[in-house]
Homo-oligomer: A and B are copies of this chain.
Amino acid sequence: MINPQGYKWFFETTTPAEGHMHAIKRTVVEARTKFQHVEIMETTSYGKVLILDGRIQSSQTDEFIYHEALVHPGMLATEAPPRSALVIGGGEGATLREVLKYPSIARAVMVDIDGEVVELCKKHLPEMHRGAFEDKRTEVRAEDARGYLEKTSDRFDFITVDLVEPLEEGPACMLFTKEFYTLVRDRLTPAGAMTMQAGMTKLGELAFYTALHRTLREVFPVVAGYQTFISCFGTPWGFITATKKVDPRRLDTQTVDKLIAERVKGPLDYWDGQTHQHAFSLPKFIRKAIDAQTRVVTDAHPLIMA
């Protein structure tokens, strides 16, 4: 065997000439839904991982990093403690779980077009959702997020967009455009905040991240990029917080720690004041790439992950 710890390996290429690999212990479940190929496998190093169309979404071992990074910078950047939240995507239920850590939240809506993925995660990833789907504040809708936003008259203090990057032209592209972010902004309360996962921030692979950053700046007065390393991806990952008022970059270590203490029930494993500084202090080459980017993504000219 190639390795005493396993003869099956999962390969994920970040570019056609570079990849990351994991020894596989077993496949927990595998299915093709109406929208995508889904697999939950158990890896030797990271426990269970969710894979959509061949790309790791999250792992049992380090999902706390991803999901805390996705949620808290926005939930802490609303003017007042957030009372309502909308999760777009986020099938594992872990994004929802982080949102529900705020006792101020009275209502948490999750809109994921792929109800089958949500069901598979409910059943096979209890380590991730930890009961979030059963919380009485939760409302799960299996429908297209754009359609939902267009028709709803609800407003949210926090909206997070936890979607897979589009690999080909199709409806998913329409969730990464100026028009879509305008809709998101309009459904936010006056001092609300949004966050999103925004692709890798590896040197030389910044086109996706910076285009989304540039696009959001067309729509929001405050756009703050941040990033952190996601171990099982083998690459740092970019996120963006966009708000109507509060700039999370202006929150110092003590303020973040104080906000967490005030707003969040129970301790966080990843996010705190110093992690906040780590994530929002972007290395120079990322800032330069953001500044150099001119592309605004629109419905007419959508973005496709190469």
The complex places the Cα of A88 from the Cα of B4 at a distance, in Å, of 29
Interface residues of A in 1-48 (CB under 8 A from B): 1-13, 15-24, 26-27, 30, 41, 43-45
Q: Is A287 an interface residue (CB 8 A)?
A: yes
The reply to whether A61 and B277 contact each other, CB–CB distance below 8 Å, is: no
Q: Which of B41, B62, B285 contacts A203 (CB 8 A)?
A: B62
Q: How large is the interface on A (under 10, 10 to 19, 20 to 34, 35 or more residues)?
A: 35 or more
Give the contacting residue for A281; candidates B11, B54, B274; CB below 8 A.
Answer: B274
A19 in complex: contacting residue of B13, B21, B203, CB < 8 Å? B21
Given the complex of chains A and B, what is the CA–CA distance between A276 and B204 in angstroms?
21
| A283 is an interface residue with CB less than 8 A from chain B | yes
A18 touches B45 (CB 8 A): yes
Pair A44/B17 contact, Cβ less than 8 Å? yes
Question: A220 in the interface, Cβ–Cβ < 8 Å?
Answer: no
Q: Does A231 lie at the interface of the complex (its beta carbon under 8 Å from any beta carbon of B)?
A: yes
Whether A228 sits at the interface, judged by CB under 8 Å, is yes
B7 near A18 with CB under 8 A, answer: no
Cβ of A229 within 8 Å of any chain B Cβ, yes or no, is: yes
A17 and B3 form a contact (CB under 8 A): yes
Q: Is the CB of B10 within 8 A of A7?
A: yes
Q: Tell me if A283 and B275 are in contact (CB < 8 A).
A: yes
Interchain CB contact under 8 A, A274 and B278:
no
Instruction: Report the stretch among A158-166, A265-273, A293-301 that lies at the interface.
Output: A265-273
Residues of B within 8 A of A17 (CB): 3, 5-6, 22-23, 43-45
A282 partner residues in chain B, CB cutoff 8 A: 274, 278
Question: Do B278 and A283 touch across chains, with their CB atoms under 8 A apart?
Answer: yes
User: Cβ of A23: which chain B residues have Cβ within 8 Å of it?
Assistant: 16-18
Q: Is the CB of A277 within 8 A of B281?
A: yes
Please measure, in the bound complex, the distance between the C-alpha atom of A235 and the C-alpha atom of B229, giving whole angstroms.
Answer: 8
Selected contact of A9 from candidates B9, B228, B234, B284, CB within 8 Å: B9
A-B CB proximity, top 4 nearest: A17-B44, A278-B281, A277-B281, A17-B23
Please name 21 pairs of A and B residues whose Cβ atoms are closer than 8 Å in the assembled complex, sorted by A. A1-B12, A3-B11, A7-B11, A8-B8, A15-B45, A17-B22, A18-B21, A18-B45, A19-B20, A21-B21, A26-B30, A27-B30, A61-B203, A203-B231, A229-B229, A269-B284, A270-B284, A274-B281, A277-B281, A278-B283, A281-B281
